[in-house]
Each structure stands twice: as C-alpha cells, then as structure tokens.
Chains A and B, each alone.
Chain A
Amino acid sequence: MTAAIELKGLRKRFGPTEIIRGVDLEIHNGERHAIIGPNGAGKSTLFHLISGRYGLSGGSVSLHGEDISNLPPYEIYRKGLSRSFQVTNIFPNMSVFENVRCGLMWVKDYKYSFWHLVDRERELNQRTAEVIEEIGLTSRQHIPAGVLTYAEQRALEIGISAAGGADVIMLDEPTAGMSHSETDQAIALIRKITDGKTLVMVEHDMGVVFDVADRISVLVYGEIIATDTPENIRNNKAVQEAYLGAEAEE
C-alpha cells in the first residue's frame, strides 16, 4: 500500500536560513499522525510545503504515490488534500453557510460555473447544512463568519477544510488558544470528521497529541528526530532531551 503522504529529502530555505533541513517522512493511509516540536522548529512551514503554499527548495512530496511537489494549492486540494490554518483563515464577510458552501463548490463539480444558481442547488445546500450541523453551528449559520467567537471560528475552519471530503486532512494547531472544554469539543469534532481518513496535525497540547495520534513525529530545527507510536516517543531519550526536556526547564 502506498503511503498517503511521502516526503523525501524535503528542504526549505528562506534566504540564507534553512528552515526545513531534509525531512523524510511517510504517513500511512488512514493513520492519525501528529507532528510536534518546539517553537520555531518549522512545523507550520512543513505544512505549507506539503499543501503548496510555499515552493520547495529541495526534495519531493507525494500524495498517494503521485508527485505533488510545487503544485499550486488548488491543484493539491483537487487531488484530495485539504488543510486548515494555525491563524484562523475564513471568509469573514460571508455568512457561515456561505463559507461552508464555498468549501463544497469544487468537489461538487461546479467549477467556475456562472450558469448554476447556488440557491437552487438542493443537494449542495443540503450537504452544506449537514456539515454545519456536524460542526455545531446550525443556529449561527446566517451570521457573518467574522463575528463568530474564536472557538466557533476554529470549528468553522475545520468544517471548511473537511467539507469537501478530502481523504487527507491536515490541521495546523486546531485547539490553539481554546479553553479546556472547548478543546474537548474540538477533539470530538476532529475525531468525527476525520473518521476513516488520514489526519496530519500539528499540535502543542500534549494531552491532545497522545490522546488522538496513532503515530507522532518530532520535528526539531527542521529535522525529524523520531517517528513512532506515542508510547515509544514518550520513552525516547533524544526526544526527551530535545523537546520534552526543554519544555520542562521553562
């Protein structure tokens, strides 16, 4: 079976600084994979490289065995990889309903159509309503997304990312800045929405990571120093030194 995502010798340089310094990683189909690491390790950059936001300086990215290196984001999305952002990234002046509906438009094959009227497309609207129900925003669906609370915006962000039914979903710190109960809700939502799919997430909350992930990769200064099950990562000497140890000192 080919890996959902395969990174080979991935590098990213910004001027003289190399942020990602040769990452090799294989993420299996259907697994929940967490990427952890200290601040500035390059976790978000790695996400941007995989999802096409940044061009690569070296190496390659494959999705289900197909090379997607340096494709524009929308091409990568069309091949079945969808992502969320660390900083909430939604369409603030459009209603929640519109936000989710836009996330469904491409996969429902509307492309750049100017001959369909979106309000008449029963199936599209029905599916939109279902997604909104899943993320728990039904009562808020007609208000502009920009005025939602932070936690609601995060839920919407996940909803937009997952709406299209991509089979690889990447979430960048989905629970950042959330309270305890909000985090629990977000985790339940993530589990529900990524059921049967491949999930890659960057997360700072270790409770969430060890709870959700099947495997964990530890990224330190642009290199992956370990990829293993949560149990083994916890007991890994190098990881403790480089990451968990450093955090304990703070």
Chain B
Amino acid sequence: MSEITKTSAATVSTPALKRYGPWIGFLIVLLILPYIFSSNVGVYTMNLMGIFIIFALSYNMLLGQGGMLSFGHAVYFGLGGFMSVHFMNYLEDGSFVFPMWLLPIFGGAIGLVFAIIIGSFSTRRAGTVFAMISLGVGELMAASSLIFVAFFGGEEGVSGDRTMGPPLFGVNFGQDVQVYYLIAAWVFVTVMLMYLFSRTPAGRLANAVRDNAERAEFIGYSQRKVRFVSFCASGFFAGIAGGLFAINFEIVTEENLNALTSGVVLLMAYIGGVGFFIGPIVGAVLFTLLQSILSNYTDIWQLYVGVMFVLTVMFVPQGLTGIMMMHTPAWRMKRVGGLVVPYIRMGVPALAMLAGIAGFLEMIHHVRGSPADETMMSLMGIEFSTHSIMPWVTVAVLALVGGYLVRNQAPQLKEAWETANNPDAGGKEA
C-alpha cells in the first residue's frame, strides 16, 4: 500500500503546477460535467457519485490510511443524514435560519459527536476487535432507528423539503443541477480537506500505526489516540456526506445507516483501491455507474458487483487504482505502447468469456424468475427463447472458447509485461 503522492510529498519544494495542477483539473472537471451529461439520469447519477465519493474517502481514512476495518461506517453517514433532514425541517418551520447550502455541516457535526463517543472505546484496539465493535454499534444503531421513532421516523424515515431555505443568488435548489453544483462544491472542499489531513502529523502517524502499531508507541505516540483522531475526522466527513444525501433525496431512512450501506462503502473503497488516496474516488464512481446503469439492464447487477468484489480481493488487492498504478514504471519508460496489442489480444477473448458467463447467468435467472409460459427473453436487444437449445450453446461456446483463448494468451501477455517493465530489455530496442 503506497500513496500516489508519495514521491512528490517528500520533497519540500514541488513545482506549483505539479502541486496545484491536479486540483485545478479536478475543479474544472466538476464544473463542466453537467454540460456533458445534462440528462436527468446523468445529473442524478453524478449527484449520487459525489455523495459516495465523500463517503468512501471518509471510510478510507479508517481502512486504507489507519488500518481500521469498519463494518459500521454507515452509522455516521446515516446520523448525518437524519440530523440534516431535521434541520431542513426546522428551516421550513422558520424556527431556525441559515443558508441551505450549509446544512451538511450539521450532518458533519453529529457524525463527529458520535465518532467521539464511539471512538473513545472502539479505537482501543485495531484488527478484529475494532471490526467487531463497529459491527455491533452498526446493528445497535439500525435497531434504535426503529425504536426512537421521533428522531429516526420509524420505517418510513424522515423527509424534508430542500427548497424552503432562504435562496442564495436566486437559487433555491429546486432543480437537480443546482443540487449538483452544491454537491460538487462540497466534494471539492472535503476531498481537499481529507487529502490535507493525510499530510498532517495526525495523518502521517495514522499510516505509521497502520503499518506497525507497536513501533509507533516507541516513537512517542499512543496508537489508540492516533486511531481516535482519524476516527473522529472520518465520522465528521461521513456525516457531511450524509447531509448531502439528505439534501439530494429529501428523505433519510433506516436503510442509510444499516449494515447494507456499511457494506457498500467497504465495497467501493476496496474495489477502487484502499492503498491510494484516489482509490475510493475511483471505486465510488465505478460503483455508482454500475448501480445506476447496469441496474437498467439486469436484475442481478448486485451479483456482478459481488463477484467483482471477490475477484478484487483475491487477485488485485490493491484495487483498480493499483492496476492503473502498476503501469507507472512502463509509462515512465514510454513503453506502455508495447502493451496495447497484447491487451487487446487478451481483452477480446476475456470479454467473450465474460459475456458468455453473464449470458448464462441471465438466462438461468430468467428461467427461474419469470412465469412458466414466458419463454422469450431479451438480452442486449436480442430476442430469443430460453427453451430452445441455440442460446445455451452460444453462451457455452462463448465462455469456453473465450476461456481457452485467455489461457492461451496469458503467457504472451506476461512476456510483454516483463519486457515493458524491464529497464534493460527496452534499451536495445530504443
């Protein structure tokens, strides 16, 4: 696990462009995105993405930066959401006056308060003990949400109206795209703050405690307090994400703080890559895309996400960002070009194999899930009957031939990879 910024971080004087360039680029991307994806679905997806980016990054302050595996991070997200939606209602009643765009601060505040309370005992140990406590607290909160109906609203949750606040330059957040800019602003600020946190003594020591908690004690730091500081910061940012969720959806329910949401954030951070600062961002973007796009095409999208998670854990524990970063040495030596052809030769059969397997799963699902007389199904725009033999043969051939070719190509890809990464080999060619 290393950070992307490692090389630039150690030297004190980095060129201004290198230091600020990524942030300016990030800001520009955030600003122009709604012009590219201006459809309702596009804006909806991006809003969700922004919320999940903050949430997943806050989670990674625990897992990736601090070595704390939490199964209950949704608690702070959900509480932040509930608090914000309540304040939204106070605003509507007129019992309280403040700008709507500041609402997530209240979410952050309650996230912080609960992180202080829960962190005071859960950060005593890392590893299994921490994980178990987080799971217990998560269950406790999910159960309380059905008991303390006044605050959690019972099963139907609490809803509000985001347009009731005092307008800001004529913006009352009636349209989703206005909410987009609000979320984008919060994303920019919180991502920057979380990045800066990782560059403070507390953030650095979190890494040290993650790597070797015992050694940290022998350089003057209590591992528990180091974890506690990260834990509080993490709860704060998760609460902000929850607040934005409340503004975006105008409703917060028990589902936002239960184990399912805690699992989702773990999934996002891990698929993206917990060892890198930007890993959870990649994970959040990808997960949201899968959730909102894949779910249009298939009922069993969660199965695919689950399989992807398992494969990530087993084969690429450094996550998607890790895969991208693996190419840095080859990129520096300007030899990525040599990998394109092998990648295509590997990619085409791999895609065929995946298509075959996915087709098989979809057909099984259709046979099992639809009424007995409905034998026609449609996959990628192709209509066919699940009771004829041809479709089954087709997916089997796709999967088997694809799989065979993948095996066949693997040694060549490995060879190409080694050539691209061997500093000596390329010298002769170049």
* A interface, CB within 8 angstroms of B: 51-53, 72-74, 77-78, 82-83, 85, 89-95, 97-98, 101-103, 105-107, 110-120, 122, 125, 141-142, 144, 160-161, 164
**Does B335 make an interface contact (CB < 8 A)?**
no
B204 touches A118 (CB 8 A): yes
Q: Which residues of A have CB within 8 Å of B413?
A: none
Pick the residue among B6, B200, B208, B218 that contacts A117 (CB under 8 A): B200
Inter-chain contact B200/A113, CB cutoff 8 Å:
yes
Residues of chain B contacted by A160 (CB below 8 angstroms)? 215, 219
Expressed in whole angstroms, the Cα–Cα distance for A117 and B233 within the complex equals 16
Residue contact B215 to A90, C-beta cutoff 8 Å: yes
Can you name the residue of chain B whose Cβ is closest to the Cβ of A73?
B217
Tell me whether B1 is interfacial, beta carbon within 8 Å: yes
Contacts A92-B212, A114-B233, A117-B196 known; 8 new A-B pairs at CB < 8 A = A73-B217, A73-B218, A89-B214, A94-B208, A101-B204, A102-B219, A122-B12, A161-B218
Q: Is the CB of B205 within 8 A of A105?
A: yes
List chain B residues, Cβ under 8 A from A116. Answer: 200-201
The reply to whether A114 and B229 contact each other, CB–CB distance below 8 Å, is yes
Closest 5 CB pairs of A and B: A106-B220, A110-B201, A91-B211, A73-B217, A114-B202
Given A92-B212, A98-B204, A114-B229: A119 touches B217 (CB 8 Å cut-off)? no
- Give Cα distance in the complex from A161 to B217, angstroms: 12
* Structural contact, B220 and A78, CB atoms closer than 8 A: yes
A83: chain B residues at CB < 8 Å are 218
Asked whether B205 lies within 8 Å of A77 as measured between CB atoms, the reply is no
Residues of B within 8 A of A90 (CB): 212, 215
When C-beta atoms are compared, the residue in chain A nearest to B216 turns out to be A102
User: 9 interchain pairs (CB within 8 A)?
Assistant: A74-B222, A77-B218, A101-B204, A102-B205, A107-B220, A111-B201, A114-B229, A117-B196, A122-B12
Minimum CB–CB distance for A81 against chain B, Å: 9
- Nearest Cβ in chain A — how far from B29, in angstroms? 24
Cross-chain contact of B201 among A85, A91, A95, A105 (Cβ < 8 A): A105
- Contact count band on B: 35 or more
Kindly identify, within residues 107 to 155 of chain B, every residue whose CB is under 8 Å from any CB belonging to chain A. Answer: none
Q: Is the CB of A144 within 8 A of B12?
A: no
Residues from chain A with a CB closer than 8 A to the CB of B10 are 95, 97-98, 119, 141-142
Q: How far is the CA of A91 from the CA of B221 in the complex (A)?
A: 14
Q: Per a CB cutoff under 8 Å, which of B1, B199, B219, B225 touches A112? A: B225
Q: In whole angstroms, what is the CA distance A106 to B201 when docked?
A: 9
Known contacts A77-B218, A98-B10: does B2 contact A113 (CB below 8 Å)? no
Q: How far is the CA of A118 from the CA of B9 in the complex (A)?
A: 9
Q: A90-B212, A119-B199, A144-B2 are in contact. Are A112 and B220 (CB under 8 A)?
A: no
In the complex formed, the residue of A with least CB distance to B197 is: A114
Binding site for A on B (CB under 8 A): 1-2, 6-7, 9-10, 12, 196-197, 199-205, 207-208, 210-212, 214-222, 225-226, 229, 233, 275
Chain A residues within 8 Å of B6, by CB: 95, 142
Cβ of B202: which chain A residues have Cβ within 8 Å of it? 112-114
**Cβ-closest chain A residue relative to B1:** A93
The interface residues of chain A lying within 8 Å CB-to-CB of B200 are: 113-118
With CB as the reference atom, state the residue of chain B lying closest to A141. Answer: B10
- Given the complex, which residues of A lie within 8 Å of B203, measured CB to CB? 114
Residue from the list A72, A93, A118 in contact with B2, Cβ < 8 A? A93
Please report the C-alpha to C-alpha distance between residue A112 and residue B206 in the assembled complex, in whole angstroms: 10
Chain A residue numbers with a CB within 8 Å of B214 are: 53, 89
Which residues of chain B have C-beta atoms less than 8 A from A111's C-beta? 201
- Closest chain A residue to B232 by CB distance? A114
Least Cβ distance of B206 to chain A in Å? 10
Task: Give every chain B residue within 8 A of A125 (Cβ-Cβ).
Answer: 12
* Closest residue of B by beta carbon distance from A109: B201
Q: How far is the CB of B13 from chain A (nearest CB, A)?
A: 9
Contact (A164, B211) CB under 8 Å given A114-B203, A114-B229, A141-B10: no
* Minimum CB–CB distance for A174 against chain B, Å: 15
Point out which of A77, A89, A93, A97 has the most chain B C-beta atoms below 10 A from its C-beta: A93
CB-defined contacts of B9 to chain A, threshold 8 Å: 119
Q: How far is the CB of B168 from chain A (nearest CB, A)?
A: 29
Contact B201 A114 (CB under 8 A): yes
Contact call A51/B201, Cβ cutoff below 8 A: no
Closest chain B residue to A170, Cβ basis: B218
CB neighbours of B221 from chain A (8 A): 74, 105-106, 112
Q: Which B residues lie within 8 Å of A119 (CB)?
A: 9-10, 12, 199
A164 touching B219 in the complex, CB below 8 Å, given contacts A89-B212, A119-B12 = yes
Return chain B residues, CB-CB under 8 Å to A51.
Answer: 218
Are the C-beta atoms of A91 and B225 separated by less than 8 Å? no
Instruction: Please indicate the chain A residues that have their CB under 8 angstroms from the CB of B212 in the complex.
Output: 89-92
